[in-house]
Amino acid sequence: MHRIINKFYWLVVFVLIIACHNKPTDQTEMEEAKNINFEMKVEKVGEWEGKGVFKYDLDNGFMQVQMTNFGGIISRILVPDKDGNLENIVLALDSIPQYFTGNGPYLGAAVGRYANRIGGASFDLDGVTYEITKNLGENHLHGGRKGFGVQVWDAESYDTDQSIGVKMYYLSKDGEEGYPGNLDTWLYMELTADNELKVRFESTTDQKTVVNLTNHSYFNLGGITRDVRDHEIQIFAQSYTETDDQLIPTGNLLNVENTPLDFQTPKNLGDQMELNGGGYDHNFVTKKENSSDLIGIAKVKHPETGRVMEVFSTAPGVQFYTANGMRDFKGADGKVYQPFWAFCLEPQTWPDSPNKPSFPTASLAPGEKYVHEIVYRFEVKEQAKN
């Protein structure tokens, strides 16, 4: 069923170098064209449940991204600081095989079939009630006990004039974690000449179901040397979904203005956390209804290193999470991750949408296609001098 054959399954290491040109010269501004040398290294690093697991290292000459077909995980993002020092800016494990059984926090994973929470671990579709896995008390989180982030995806690499990437495929079978329908999902992850990491999910089904997919990377633009209180955060949202004490939406939307959740203008995260009495785990409303429009939803700066990340998405919401539950977690390079050592910006459909008729729908019917595109754009800026 539309399976992708990975032409690298029998290779240990394959290096692909592609030369391409930057964008054409703008009509109103002359700029020097430059060559971009892309490099991709592919290495088989193990097997899981009888399938080959590969590591993909992508390099565009400015930044590097490492990913794997296990869980569709982004396992490294290396970006230079204002002095040219290249550092990893996402929480990680030392090796890909460690993710097989040690990724409880969903580090860098593709999460689904439904990202975030579904209250009561059940929902109705066309008069039929579906009971899905309870893996967060009485509720459902991130697709259940064995969601998309712990599956081996079929994969193959690809390139365009302005990017290199990996195309992955996973079939979520009817009844998996309680969800109806066979869901075919394609995941495209690519690094561009414009220093963008693009993530795109596409899904089709043979039976009406619900779907909500995202990437769950934990970012620390400071190079993961301490917590993220010194980051400057801006989220382009005027409201958020109110929740109960189990973080299940009540159905109400609340205005962020003049509250600790007001990130409409850039705010120091530490100052906002002090006002909030702790960290964040909130869904911000970036659209009131579903659309295919790719819009800017957040911008994050780290003044000390000069790193800047912008986030774009076609989804109607974004979950802002400050790793509140991270405690004494042994990560890569001998580091032990603690609360607030990273933040997640998870673009997605609003939590518990299957049980909230007033929320943008998460349902997908045969003949329809679910598409969710996410773009992370990186740059480095010198701090303005007084």
Q: Could you give the residue numbers annotated as active site?
A: 216, 346
Report whether 164 contacts 58 (CB < 8 A).
yes
Report whether 168 contacts 187 (CB < 8 A).
yes
Neighbouring-strand partners of residue 66 = 57, 76
39-71 CB burial, b ≥16 within 10 A, e <16: ebbbbbebebeebbbbbbbbbbebbbbbbbbbb
Q: Could you give the CA distance from residue 344 to residue 107 in angstroms, rounded to a whole number? A: 10
Closest by CA to 323, choosing from 241, 248, 216, is: 216
Q: Could you give the CA distance from residue 341 to residue 329 in angstroms, rounded to a whole number? A: 11
- Tell me the residue type at 274: E
Q: Count how many residues are written for the chain.
A: 386
Q: Could you give the CA distance from residue 362 to residue 107 in angstroms, rounded to a whole number? A: 24
